[in-house]
Amino acid sequence: MTSDSPSSSRPPAIGRRTVLGAAAAAPVLTGLPSVASAAPAARRRKPRRLKGGGDLGPNVIVFDPSTPDIQARLDEVFVRQESAQFGTGRYQLLFKPGTYHGLNAQIGFYTSVSGLGLSPDDTTINGDVTVDAGWFDGNATQNFWRSAENLALVPANGTNRWAVAQAAPFRRMHVRGGLDLAPSGYGWASGGYIADSRIDGTVGPYSQQQWYTRDSAVGGWTNAVWNMVFSGVEGAPAQSFPDPPYTTLDRTPISREKPFLYLDGDQYRVFLPSLRTDARGVTWGNGTPRGASQPLNRFYVAKPGDSAATLNQALDQGLDLLLTPGIYHVDRPVRVNRPGTVVLGLGYATLIPDNGVTALKVADVDGVRLAGFLIDAGPVDSPVLLEVGPDGASRDHSANPITVQDVFVRIGGAGPGKATTSMVINARHTIVDHTWVWRADHGEGVGWETNRCDYGVVVNGDDVLATGLFVEHFNKYDVQWNGERGRTVFFQNEKAYDAPDQAAVQNGSVKGYAAYKVGDHVTTHEGWGMGSYCYYNVNPGIVQHHGFAAPDRPGVRFHHLLVVSLSGHGQYECVINDTGAPTSGTDTVPSTVVSYP
């Protein structure tokens, strides 16, 4: 385990990043120097230099233990957000270090709740952070876009309920009790993701169809439905796929936890955890965590209404970006060109590209961290929504990879949206740690051509690792992996529901596009714990030949694959290539392949 070092490319006038480890944090730096504007009147005036730091805006709500009526404020936000699946509200709830009593923070759509300590145990809630599904008649399969991070919980009845589906991470949490991942009444649930968390008691997934837990510790795990995957988890159940369907890796090959906001005294800083190899267990709990820290004045604190030109000006000045909650329309790509840049969103800050542009592009540089925001396709087709590394990127980033964490992509649902490809990873050694890339199957602007997007995630870079890859409903390949030495730990997929007929999904002589396609030229690739489901509700007679397609080579290997036909709406003939039994009937029973080849 090593600490990240400051980027040498940052302008010295902006301050320096403090590396933490055994040493204490350095004093907070006090902002950017002013820039004189004494250009002659005859010259064109330069843009006003942007400052870092500042107010976090009205939708970041900060509590301390002495704040009056905390429960009433939490309830007010929840009432707004409980069923606002495609609404415009965005909220970040922040709890200063200390102890809180008697709270139940119910978390709705586009709401993030976080503690502001360096450790989860710095901020203790004697109470609950709850997600349930009363708004949807006890069905938790649409409990998307919400998060809990960096808190310790002492649940009121001994068990906290976190009944979520996709795009709802539970990170850096300490539950001093049990954790229930199903809704009250144990209706359907389709999550989910835990990382860098300690659950002292037992985790009960119950009705959860699939789940991925990374670099954590659990007191026990009660059951599994289709696909439960663990990597680097102390207390995880032994590997036993397919009965019960546990996939257990002793360690995570490479990981680096998500950046987070915290308080050092009365000053906000952002902590940037160090890279770990062969990781196991949590990163906190044994003194100061390893990583780097930088003051908020190193960030441009963006507000909804800021233009792409403003965001790019801040990046060009050497500032990082903190996207406060809200919706940002961008008429040109946000360009991340500097090594070590951080783009961190609060409260599901959302980028919407206008006029078919790419929302965000990352250069072929070391150590960029993208985290905690949503990209929502606009009504004009974008060739790509998120581009990590330009086409042909080839630099070695193994010592300091680009990380993409809790960055979610949506096409349609909140209105018509179109793209050709949602996310392209060209940069080598990129870590994609928890993403949900979703072509909407419900909401506004939904139809086979209305919110068309052919490809979900395309990986062209070599040595890319995905931990927690959720990609659903694309018109062609959901994942197309062209790079060498790629690895995926946990994959969850549903094929597009709304294909009108067999011809619409025909892939040459193959019936349907695979959910996960490894390029024909690839010689080395590996995946663990991967599932694809079909629910062709417009035309239940559609046949999908397989969920997974890959070249038959010794270096291309898969472990623990499954396909499921949901209530007989469509059928898989095989699991991978021509291997694996077909799904049949209406019993929704997975067909599995333990190892391939």
- Catalytic residue positions? 494
Decide: 325 and 93 in contact? Cβ < 8 Å: no
Round to whole Å and give the CA distance between 283 and 365.
26
Q: Comparing C-alpha atoms, which of 583, 586, 15 is closest to residue 294?
A: 15
SS3 call for 505: helix
Strands (E), 324-478: 327-330, 334-336, 342-353, 360-362, 369-376, 382-388, 403-411, 419-425, 431-439, 455-459, 465-472
Residues sharing a CB contact under 8 Å with residue 36, sequence separation 6 or more, in sequence order: none
Angle of CA points 501, 379, 482, to nearest 5°: 65
Residues ≥6 apart with Cβ < 8 Å to 358 = 333, 382, 383, 384, 385, 386, 387
Radius of gyration (Cα) for the chain, nearest Å? 23
Give Cβ neighbours of residue 167 (< 8 Å, ≥ 6 apart).
Answer: 144, 145, 146, 374, 406, 408, 436, 438, 470
Do you find a cis peptide bond into 295, omega within 30 degrees of 0?
Answer: no
Are the C-beta atoms of 559 and 247 separated by less than 8 Å?
A: yes
CA distance 258 to 64: 24
238's tokens: 């032994």
Provide CB contacts within 8 A for 157, sequence distance 6+. Answer: none
Per DSSP, what are the bridge partners of residue 489?
A: 467, 528
Residue ranges of E strands in 478-575? 479-481, 486-494, 506-507, 510-511, 516-518, 525-534, 543-544, 548-549, 556-565, 571-572
State which H helix or E strand residue 475 sits in. Answer: none
Please state, in angstroms and rounded to a whole number, the distance separating the CA atoms of residues 432 and 181: 24
Q: CB of 381 within 8 A of CB of 143?
A: no
* CA–CA dist 289, 262 (Å, integer): 13
346 Cβ contact list (under 8 Å, min separation 6) = 56, 60, 92, 112, 261, 322, 323, 324, 325, 372
Strands 267-273 and 260-264: antiparallel
